């Protein structure tokens, strides 16, 4: 073998070993201490039940840790071993005495760690998970709670909560063990009813407690009143004795106060007189000082007023007079500029109007000459026309006149014809149009002096005679 072949062979072996190692690593499954690894498939194993019977199963399990799973042969599932808490509440269930109760309780269940229990739980809960275990456990516990409630009275349940919980656990344990489960704890949380039975149950005790409290309060109050009266009596005697001593001391005190008041009044009168004299003297001095102060204030006010007048004059000069002078100069300059502008515009307009008038006059002159020449040529042409040509022109215009006469009828959308004695309405319309056309020769004669009837009579009569 060559070196290349050897290297290829070694590479193939390494790849195969790597694939095998990857498969082995992938097929090694691990679980935590709160899970059970259920490996199904492979050869069957014999297990011994608690009653000594043997049976074969097609799975094995691993509680925590890990194990190798044969590829393509075995499948793996997990079973939770952790504690599953639940809150259970029954609807109204009648007790042994027929009182409907609503019971709330809490419980904690889990899969038992014993081999038979793990096998039972695997066979019944594999694939359901914690929720499946919780639902089935709650159903069992609720049913057992109903059974226990039916065998006890309200008073027994209310006073013996521990006994109630013990009975529920005892009645449920057998069903749970058949499924590989165990009840870790069960406690009665609360009981209630919608009929007020529990409230009525406590009312006698509450009334008795209130009665005893009222009696004890009355006894205490009586004792307090007696002692209070005795104390008031002793206190009144002591008070009267004290008042007598106080009155005597007050009389002696008042006598001493009267004697001292006489002396005080004398001293006070002397002090008041001296005070009035001193007050009058001080008042005179104060008035003198006030007069001086007022004089000084007036002098200061005069100076301030003079300064204010000077300030206002300067302010008037700066804010009114000078701006007015500036405004006056500005207005004067603007007026001169406006006068110059108006004069310039007037001069320009006059020159423009002069030029425009000259051009208009020339144009009118040329237009007049052209119109005069046109009228002259037209007059010469009219002189050459004979009477027959003029009549021909008039005859050519007659259809247009007839059209103009009938034109108003074309503007009418609708004509309502009302029959009369002489013909229909339609004949009247055509007759009126014919009358208008018949008046045309008179209109032409009045406008031009030409008698169309006479012209047609002269033209048509000879032809008629020749035909005869």
Give the span between the Cα atoms of 401 and 397, in whole angstroms.
6
Give residue 95's pLDDT.
87
Give the pLDDT confidence of 110-164 residue by residue, as tens digits.
988 888 888 888 888 887 888 888 999 999 999 999 999 989 888 888 888 899 9
Q: Which of 204-208, 315-319, 376-380 has the highest mean pLDDT?
A: 315-319
**Computed from CA positions of residues 337, 338, 339, 342, in that sequence, does the dihedral angle turn out positive or negative?**
positive
Q: Is the pLDDT of residue 308 over 70?
A: yes
Give residue 108's pLDDT.
93
At 214, the pLDDT band (50, 70, 90 cuts) reads confident
Give the start-end residues of each E strand in 152-254.
Answer: 181-192
CB 112, CB 133: distance < 8 Å: no
Distant-in-sequence, close-in-space partners of 55: CB < 8 Å, separation ≥ 6: 46, 47, 49
Half-sphere CA count of 80, side-chain side, radius 13 A: 13
**Computed from CA positions of residues 315, 319, 321, 322, in that sequence, does the dihedral angle turn out positive or negative?**
positive
Q: What are the angstrom distances between the C-alpha of 31 and each of 63, 76, 116, 124, 403? A: 8, 11, 20, 20, 118
Q: What are the angstrom distances between the C-alpha of 199 and each of 147, 192, 209, 278? A: 24, 9, 15, 92
Phi, psi of 331 (to 5 degrees): -65, -40
Task: Find the Cα–Cα–Cα–Cα dihedral 32, 38, 42, 45, rounded to 10°.
Answer: 110
Set out the domains of the chain in order of their start, with CATH numbers: 14-78 (no CATH), 82-195 (3.30.479.30)
Work out the average pLDDT over 314-331: 78
pTM: predicted TM-score of the whole model, two decimal places: 0.41
CB 152, CB 95: distance < 8 Å: yes
Which has more pLDDT, 317 or 88? 88
CB 408, CB 436: distance < 8 Å: no
Give residue 326's pLDDT.
77
Closest C-alpha among 201, 203, 202, 191 to residue 101: 191
């Amino acid at each position: 073998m060559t070196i290349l072949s050897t290297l290829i062979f070694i590479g193939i072996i390494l790849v195969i070993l790597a694939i095998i190692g990857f498969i082995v690593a992938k097929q090694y499954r691990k679980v935590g201490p709160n899970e059970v690894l259920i490996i199904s498939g492979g050869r069957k194993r014999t297990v011994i039940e608690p009653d000594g019977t043997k049976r074969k199963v097609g799975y094995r399990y691993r509680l925590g840790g890990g194990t190798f799973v044969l590829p393509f042969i075995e499948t793996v599932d997990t079973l939770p071993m952790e504690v599953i808490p639940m809150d259970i509440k029954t609807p109204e269930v009648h007790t042994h005495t027929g009182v409907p109760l609503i019971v709330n309780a809490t419980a904690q269940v889990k899969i038992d760690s014993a081999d038979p229990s793990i096998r039972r739980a695997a066979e019944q809960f594999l694939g359901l998970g914690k929720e499946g275990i919780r639902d089935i456990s709650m159903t069992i516990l609720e049913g057992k709670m109903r059974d226990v409630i039916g065998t006890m009275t309200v008073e027994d349940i209310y006073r013996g909560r521990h006994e109630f919980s013990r009975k529920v656990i005892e009645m449920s344990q057998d069903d749970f063990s058949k499924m590989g489960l165990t009840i870790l704890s069960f406690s009665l949380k609360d009981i209630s009813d919608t009929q007020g039975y529990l409230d009525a149950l406590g009312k006698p005790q509450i009334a008795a407690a209130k009665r005893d409290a009222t009696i004890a309060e009355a006894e205490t109050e009586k004792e307090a009143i007696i002692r209070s009266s005795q104390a008031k009596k002793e206190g009144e005697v002591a008070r009267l004795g004290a008042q007598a001593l106080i009155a005597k001391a007050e009389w002696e005190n008042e006598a001493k106060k009267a004697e001292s008041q006489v002396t005080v009044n004398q001293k006070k009168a002397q002090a008041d007189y001296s005070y009035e004299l001193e007050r009058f003297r001080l008042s005179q001095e104060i008035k003198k000082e006030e007069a001086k102060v007022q004089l000084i204030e007036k002098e200061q006010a005069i100076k301030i007023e003079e300064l204010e007048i000077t300030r206002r004059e300067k302010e008037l000069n700066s804010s009114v007079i000078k701006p007015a002078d500036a405004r006056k100069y500005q207005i004067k300059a603007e007026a001169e500029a406006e006068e110059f502008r108006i004069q310039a515009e007037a001069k320009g307009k006059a020159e423009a109007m002069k030029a425009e008038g000259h051009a208009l006059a020339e144009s009118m002159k040329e237009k007049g000459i052209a119109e005069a020449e046109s009228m002259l040529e037209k007059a010469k042409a009219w002189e050459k026309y004979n009477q027959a040509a003029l009549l021909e022109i008039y005859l050519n215009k007659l259809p247009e006149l007839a059209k103009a006469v009938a034109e108003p009828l074309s503007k009418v959308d609708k004509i309502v014809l009302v029959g009369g004695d002489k013909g229909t309405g339609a004949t009247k319309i055509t007759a009126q149009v014919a009358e208008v056309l018949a008046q045309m020769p008179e209109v032409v004669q009045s406008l031009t002096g030409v008698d169309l009837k006479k012209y047609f009579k002269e033209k048509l009569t000879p032809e008629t005679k020749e035909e005869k």
